[in-house]
Amino acid sequence: MARDTWTPAYVGIGSNLNEPQRQILRGLDAIATVPNTLLIARSRIYSSSPLGPQDQPPYVNAAAGLLTQLDAVALLSHLKRLEQELGRAQPVVRWGPRVIDFDLLVFGGQRIDTESLKVPHPGLGVRNFAIYPLSDIAPALHVPGLGSVAQIQAKVERGDLREIDPI
């Protein structure tokens, strides 16, 4: 549902199938089409080992910064619809391979904990592939319950995460 006020929102984007870097770019283009929403920032693109089963290709990840007049539930609904349009197959194996994945990482200063939506994203404080891209575009952002993105990043090891695309 569109509101009169604009809320900053941050989305993590991931892929490890069908030319993942191209899928990330397609994902960013798709996010830019969400109604009542502006894509205002994009991170570098990173590559890393998969979080889940290791018998799959490396993951490619990025983050997008948005301003939206949608509420968090409506924004998530648009993101899930875009995943389907971009070729995400169902059912998805938890942490398994996928063409595209959108995660709502942060939505304004809100904390949301429902069955279908948890914000800030529960993995944000421990996943290098989420926090490093977010730090590219919003290092001073305060994440409710976790501190600033820069503070979170300082606690998360880079591991094998490597930059594959400059800003």
Q: Provide the annotated active-site residues.
A: 88, 98, 101, 103
Would you state the structure tokens that stand for residue 92, as one six-digit string?
Answer: 């998805």
Q: 55-58 — which CB contacts under 8 Å span 24+ positions?
A: 56/16, 56/96, 56/97, 57/16, 57/17, 57/20, 57/97, 58/16, 58/20
- Exposed (0-12), middle (13-18) or buried (19+): which is 147, by Cβ within 10 Å? middle
DSSP code for 93 = P
Would you state the structure tokens that stand for residue 87, as one six-digit string?
Answer: 């070729």
> Does residue 147 sit in helix, strand or coil?
strand
Which has the closest alpha carbon to 10: 102, 87, 95, 78? Answer: 102
